[in-house]
Structure 1
Amino acid sequence: MLCATKEGTFSYLKKFGNYSKDFYRFNGELFFPSLGIGTYKAEPYKEDNYIINYAEAIKIALRRGINMIDTAINYRYQMSEREIAEALNEMFQEGEIKREEVIIASKAGFIPLDFPFPENPYGWIQENILNVELATKDEIVIDQHCMAPEYLRWSCEQSLRNLELETIDIFYLHNPETQLGYVDQETFYVRIEAAFKMFEELRGEGKIVSYGIAAWNGFLYEADHTEYIALSKVVEIARRVGGKDHGFKYIQSPFNLAKPHAYGYANQQTEDGMFYPLMHACASYGITYIGSSPLLQKNLFKRAFAPEVAELMNTNELSDIASALQFARSAGGICAVFGAVDPAHVIDNAVLCYLPEASAKSVNTLMKGAYAV
C-alpha cells in the first residue's frame, strides 16, 4: 500500500539540511515535522468557503519542509480533502514529492454533507446515511455526529476518494465527546469499541495505517465532567479489540498559550494509578501526541503579547504568531498543526524551521500557574 514510511519521511527531511536539527522528530515509525499544516476553516457557512482553496498553501508547505497534512471529511463540506488531492497530484506528477514522504491525517465522526451546501441538509442525511443503512437515527447525535461502524467505513472510503489516495496514514475519530451528554458513559464507550473494531478492519484492508482520537476538550476536562474521556479506558478498548499490536497510536487535542492543559493539568490516569497531564499519559501508553489549534483560531491575538513571551521563546525578532507557534511545538508534542490558506502565512510560519525549539525551562516558566486557565 502507498503510505508514509520511515524511509520516505527520512528521505524528505534530508532535503532540508539547513533547518534546525530538532525541527523533525521521530516516533519510532515516522519522521514528523514539528509544525504541520491543517485545513480547518471556522464558520463553514460563510461565503468565503466557496472561493478559497488550500491547494497552494499545501504545495508551499511541502516545499518548505512541512510534510504533515491534517484534514477531516467535514471540513468545508469535503472540499478541504479534495483540494489536498489537487495539490498532491500536481506535485506527484512533477516528481517534487513521493507519497511515502507525506503524512496524511483525516477524521471521521461529523456528518460532512457535500459541496455546495445542500438546500435541505436533513434530506441529505436521510438520503445518504439513513436510507442506505449506514446508521440508524438514534446513532446520529444532534443531527451532526455519528460513530456507527458502517458510517465510519463509508467516511473513510469517501475520504480516500476525496484525497485520491489508497491509504490514510492517521485516521482519527473526530471529537467523540460531542455525544456525551446525549448518551451515557457506558453507551459512549460501547460506541468507541465498535468504532475501533471498524478501524482495525480498515487497517487490515490497507485503507488506514494507524488510528487515533482527535478531541477538543474531551481529554482535557476534569474527570467528573460530563464530556470527559478517560485515556486509560480508550487504551484498554484498543488492546481488547486489536491486541498488543493495535493501531490506536495517536491523540490530537488543542495546545496553545491559552489552553495549555495537555502539558500541565494532571487529569489522566496511567497504569501506575497516578494522574498526569495528557502529554505525559500519552507517552506512558506509547501514544503519539499531536497538538491542534496552536493559535486558538487566532483568538490569542486580541492584544499584544507581553515582551516576556518572545524572550522566553527566543522569537524577539518575530511576530506574536511565531511566538505562539514556537510555544506550541516546544512542549513535548511531536507536531503542532496550524491552519493556513494563504501561502504567505505558510512562508512566515516556516521561518521557525530554522529556529531551535524553546527549552523546557522556558516553557515551564511561561506555563507557571497557567494550566488552570
Structure 2
Amino acid sequence: MISGYASLNGTKEYVTRFNQFYRTTPMFYTSSIGLGTHLGDMNENDSALYCKGIEYGLRKGLNVIDTAINYRGMKSERDVGYVLTSLIERKLIKREDVVVSTKAGIIAGDIEANLVPIDYLQKVLIEGGIITEADLSIVDHHRHVLAPAYYEFAIHKSKNHLNLETIDIYYVHNPEISMMTLGSEVFYSQLETLFAFFETQVQMGHIKYYGLATWLGLLTNPNEHGYISLEKVVNIAKRLAGNSHHFRFIQFPLNRKINNGVRMKNQKVNHHWVTVVEAAEKLGLFSITSAPFHLGKLIDEGSSSQSMLLEVIQMKGILSTMVGMKRNEHIKENMETIRVFQNRINGKSL
C-alpha cells in the first residue's frame, strides 16, 4: 500500500506549480474543483474513461479526488486506486500532493463479485457477522448504517481499493437517512459512538480527518424530517476529543436548484441563525460542495456549465467543488473556468 497522506507542504508545492487558483486550510492546499467519481456505468468502458480523466486532471493541477465505496459498485474506488498507484510509481505525483476522500454508510454492491447491494448486504455483511438487521435504517430503497463495525469493514475495503495506507477525509455518507428512521436522540447518540471510533481510526493512521457528506440533511428546515444540526455534531466531536477533534469537513450539493447552503439561515450557532457555510466557518469546519450541475440536469436544461461552475467556485467559504468528470474534454473545459475566475481576481487566492 502507498504510505503517507496529503500534507500542507506537499499540496502547496503541487498547486503552486501549476500557477492556478487554489484555496488553503491548515492541513493542505486544494484546487478549487475536484474530481468527482459518482456518475457512470459499472463497466470497463467507463472505468477506462475515468482512469484517463483522473490521470489527466492530476497531471494538470487538480489535487482533490472524491469517491465512495458504493459508487459504481465499488469500481470508482478501484479506478482511483489504479491511477494513484500508477502515477506515484512513475514518480509523476507524490502521495502528499493529493487529497483523497471517500465515504461509507449507504450499503454498497460489488460489481466484481456480481453482488447487487441487497445481496451484498445479506451474503457479506449479515451472514459475515459484520452488521445485523437491527443496524439498518431504511428509507425507500436506501439502506444506511451507523454501526462502527460496518465502518471498520468499509475503511479496510476502501483502503484496499485505493491502495492507500491513510485516507485523507472519510465521510459518513448521507447520514440523514439514519436520522429519518432513528429520530434525533438516538441518531446523535449513535453518531457519538461512531465518532469515537473514527478518532481511534485517526490515531491508528487509517484516516486523517472525518466528516459528513450529506444530500439535504444539512440544508433543510430545522423542523423537517432528517435535519442535522452542525453545532450538535461539532459538540459531539468536542466532547470526545476537545478542540483537537478530527471532524473537520462537510460536503453538500450547491447549484442553482439547491442553494440553501449559502442562502438559507437554517443552522443555529451560539444562538444565532446562519447558513450552512457560515456555520461551518464559525465551527472550524471546511465546506466542500458537490453536484454543481445538479447531476447534469441543469446542463440538459440548457444552462452554461461554465457560468454555473463560476457561480459556485467564486462563493466565499467553499474549499473545493467536486465535479463529476471522466472525459478529458470536460476536465479541460472546467479547468478553463478556473482560469477565467483566476483572471477576475488577478491571481490572488481566497
The one-letter amino acid paired with 1:339 is G
| Secondary structure in structure 1 of the residue aligned to 2:205 | coil
The one-letter amino acid paired with 2:330 is H
Contact 1:77 1:117 (C-alpha < 8 Å) held by counterparts? no
Residue 90, structure 1, aligned to residue 89, structure 2: no
* Residue 324 of structure 2: aligned partner: 339
Note the residue ranges of structure 1 that are not aligned, 5 or more in a row. Answer: 306-319, 361-373
**For 2:46 and 2:244, how far apart are their aligned partners in 1?**
41
Aligned-pair distance for 1:151?
0.4
Aligned-pair distance for 1:265?
0.6
1:3-152 equivalence runs, <5 A:
3-17=5-19, 19=20, 23-41=21-39, 49-53=43-47, 54-116=50-112, 118=114, 121-142=117-138, 144-152=143-151
| Secondary structure in structure 2 of the residue aligned to 1:290 | strand
Contact 2:201 2:207 (C-alpha < 8 Å) held by counterparts? yes
Contact 1:64 1:347 (C-alpha < 8 Å) held by counterparts? no
1:177-196 equivalence runs, <5 A:
177-196=176-195
Identity percentage over the alignment? 31
Residue 160, structure 1, aligned to residue 144, structure 2: no
The one-letter amino acid paired with 1:280 is E
* Residue 314 of structure 2: aligned partner: 330
**For 1:330 and 1:198, how far apart are their aligned partners in 2?**
36
Contact 1:134 1:148 (C-alpha < 8 Å) held by counterparts? no
Q: TM-score, normalised by structure 2?
A: 0.92
* 33-42 or 141-150: bigger deviation: 141-150
* Residue 333 of structure 2: aligned partner: 348
Aligned-pair distance for 1:335?
0.6
| Secondary structure in structure 2 of the residue aligned to 1:110 | coil
The one-letter amino acid paired with 2:245 is H
**For 1:352 and 1:189, how far apart are their aligned partners in 2?**
40
Aligned-pair distance for 1:131?
2.5
Contact 1:4 1:100 (C-alpha < 8 Å) held by counterparts? yes
Aligned-pair distance for 1:123?
3.9
Contact 2:108 2:120 (C-alpha < 8 Å) held by counterparts? no
Residue 218, structure 1, aligned to residue 217, structure 2: yes
The one-letter amino acid paired with 1:64 is K
Contact 1:108 1:152 (C-alpha < 8 Å) held by counterparts? yes
Q: TM-score, normalised by structure 1?
A: 0.86
Contact 1:330 1:359 (C-alpha < 8 Å) held by counterparts? no
In the superposition, relative to structure 1, how do residues 107 and 119 fare at CA in structure 2: closer, same or farther (>3 Å)?
A: closer
The one-letter amino acid paired with 1:174 is H
Per-residue Cα deviation, 1:256-293 (whole angstroms, up to 9, x for no partner):
1221111111000112x100000000000010000111
The one-letter amino acid paired with 1:3 is Y
In the superposition, relative to structure 1, how do residues 107 and 159 fare at CA in structure 2: closer, same or farther (>3 Å)?
A: same
* Residue 279 of structure 1: aligned partner: 277
Contact 2:110 2:117 (C-alpha < 8 Å) held by counterparts? no
Aligned residues: 337
Aligned-pair distance for 1:117?
6.6
Aligned-pair distance for 1:212?
0.4
Note the residue ranges of structure 2 that are not aligned, 5 or more in a row. Answer: 346-350
